[in-house]
Amino acid sequence: MPESQGTTSPLLSLKGVSKSFGGLAALKSVDLDLLPGETVGLIGDNGAGKSTLIKILSGVLAPDSGRLLIAGKLVDFRTYNVRKARQMGIETVYQDRSLGEKQPLWRNVFVGRPVTNRLGFIRVQARKRATMEILQQHVGLRGTGITPDARIKHLSGGERQGLAIGRAMYFDAGIIILDEPTTALSLKEVDKVLAFVGGIHHRNKACIYISHNMGHVYRVAHRIVMLDRGRIVGEYAKASLSLEELGTKLIQIQAVTEGQTL
Amino acid sequence: MISALLNKFRIQVGISGVLICLLGGFMLLSPRTFLSARIYISFGSTIPFTAILALGLTFLVIAGELDLSFPSVMAISGLAFADIFLYTQNPLLAMIAALLVGGFAGWVNGLLVVKIGVPSIIATIGTQFFWRGLSALLASGLARNIVSVRETTLHHVFVGRLGDLVPVQAFWCLAIALALGVILNRHVFGEHILFIGDDIHTARLMGIDTDRVRMLLFVFFGVVSAFVSVLICLEMANWWPTQGEGYLLLVFASIFIGGTSVFGGEGTLFGTLVGAVIIGIIEAGIISAGLSGFWTRLVYGFVIVVSVSVYSMVFKTGR
């Protein structure tokens, strides 16, 4: 648990956020706080609204109603976008949509970021140096022969996630959101990614970790939030329950909501 | 080091090899034609039209889009050039008007594809008919004779002959190729094109304003089409209702011979330029070798099929 809970103000705070697509409610009045140095695990079935929540936080979608505060500042959704989110220190790692397959690493690390001169021309050498730094310091790919000129399609799934997470660390994001980063990885690679995620809070950064794998979430999170059909249906401090109890709770909640709809 | 460079630029090296082989073959078959400078001066006057179109369209193809409407956009913007020149005798004004018409036509394509969501291949088939029809209607199916344009400065600047010999449009073509190459490889706009063609959803999540970039691309290529149309009007001192029609397949052939992938996300302007040169010299090579003109299309077909097959095998692009 973060030591200072209750006294510090949240880094990020969602209040009454709703979003629907063509009459289908994806999120129904969701409230969520994220404290400094905290890792929140967000679990829920397919269609629970996890992805929609992430996209709102990272500036891809605007909600229909509700408020978002980042470091206490109210976000204006009319001007909020991915670039703004990054400026405010939010970095998002998507399961398979974080990197351009055919592009070299040095382009991927900086895409969508203005690391250029005034006329918009790219500083290639500076980018390659920074990419090398990410590879060596954050990803631990030293000696694997991967260079900034390598293309993403030649990297393994674990290396890709490592790069995407390393990129977030390099840009010194205060809040890192990870959307199913362990899907389609080998067991060994899962271990590596989880170890990486487990280290994020040590740097006093906050993290939202989304997965439908309860075991993974339980391993890295301080607090676990359950999402079901667009609502937050449960919130638990990890210290207060075991993995088995968490599993039982999830099944109970799903049984209840299914009972309601039947 | 050298082998790494060769590997990185294998498309460029390969396509240059094909060009050298073709030229070598033609030199052997008809040394009188291909060892004299005259044929190359003639190439320098015709190839730039195909090449500039192909270079512009390469940007769209890399972004994963197509534009089949450009021959008709050439017709309507060329008509604007010819008519405004005839009316005002001011070639610069006529050229600006033509570029605006081309940009507008490109903007309409962008609107259909980006805002309304029609796949670009379908949208531009539609606009292709529309602009061709409109230009035929406005011109009543008649050509425009603009001989007096030959006396203008604009003519000398864009399609004149340097030292009474070298066609100026060849330099424009090279300058455009260079500028577009720098933009594609070293400017953020080029990077956004690459990522959009690679995977547009990823591009969006990475913070690229994909709608804006694609709109700009369509407008850009509309302007390029209009520019080439103006060059052709200047060169021929004429506008005719079917102007541009022959370019559609030649331009696409140049791009795909050049090694740009139809799947988007990667491509080479150098390859496109060499591809346009290959397409441009085949006809002359065949005629001067003493074969009938009917061979031209057969050889086009052969070169296209072989080159794209080699790319598919080397890059394993099959589904």
Query: Which residues of chain B lie closer than 8 angstroms to A122, CB-CB?
Result: 186-188, 191
Q: Is residue A194 part of a domain?
A: yes
CATH of B14-25+37-312, one of 1.10.490, 1.10.3470, 1.10.10, 1.10.1740: 1.10.3470
Q: Over 90: is that where the pLDDT of A136 sits? A: no
Chain B CB contacts of A59 under 8 Å are 207
How far apart CA B120 and CA B111 sit, in angstroms, is 10
Q: Is residue A132 part of a domain?
A: no
Position A159 in a domain = no
In the beta sheet, which residues pair with residue A65? A18
Region A84-89: mean pLDDT is 89
Can you give the pTM of this predicted structure? 0.90
Chain B closest-CA separation from residue A134 CA (Å):
18
Over the stretch B208-253, which tens digit does the pLDDT of each residue have? 999 999 999 999 999 999 999 999 999 999 999 999 998 999 999 9
Q: Give kind and range of the element (H or E) at residue A63.
A: none
Of B8, B182, B205, the CB nearest to A97: B205
Predicted local confidence at residue B112, as pLDDT: 97
- ipTM of the predicted structure? 0.84
Q: Does B156 lie at the interface with A, CB-CB under 8 angstroms? A: no
Please tell me the total count of domains within chain A.
Answer: 1
Does the structure show a pLDDT above 80 at A145? Answer: no
Report the mean per-residue pLDDT for chain B: 92
CB–CB contact A101 B198 (8 Å): yes
Whether the predicted pLDDT of A118 surpasses 80:
no
Count of CB atoms situated within 10 Å of the CB of A154: 10
Q: How many angstroms away from the CA of A19 is the closest CA of chain B?
A: 18
A203: CATH:
3.40.50.300
Residue written as token pair 């690391």: A115
Residue A2's pLDDT band (cuts 50, 70, 90):
very low
Does residue B178 belong to the interface with chain A, where contact is any CB pair within 8 Å? no
Establish if A148 belongs to a structural domain.
no
Residue A184 belongs to domain spanning: 12-98+175-261
Which amino acid is present at B222?
Answer: G
Q: Which of B61, B204, B205 to mutate to test the interface with A (most CBs of A within 10 A)?
A: B205
- Where is pLDDT greater, at A82 or B52? B52
Q: Which of A1-5, B21-25, B173-177 is the least confident region?
A: A1-5
Distance CA B267, CA B285 (A): 28
Q: Are B171 and B179 in contact (CB under 8 A)?
A: no
Task: Determine, for residues B265 and A116 on separate chains, whether the beta-carbon distance falls below 8 Å.
Answer: no
Chain A residues 58-77 with a CB less than 8 Å from chain B: 58-60
Angle made by CA atoms A42, A45, A46, in degrees to the nearest 5: 110
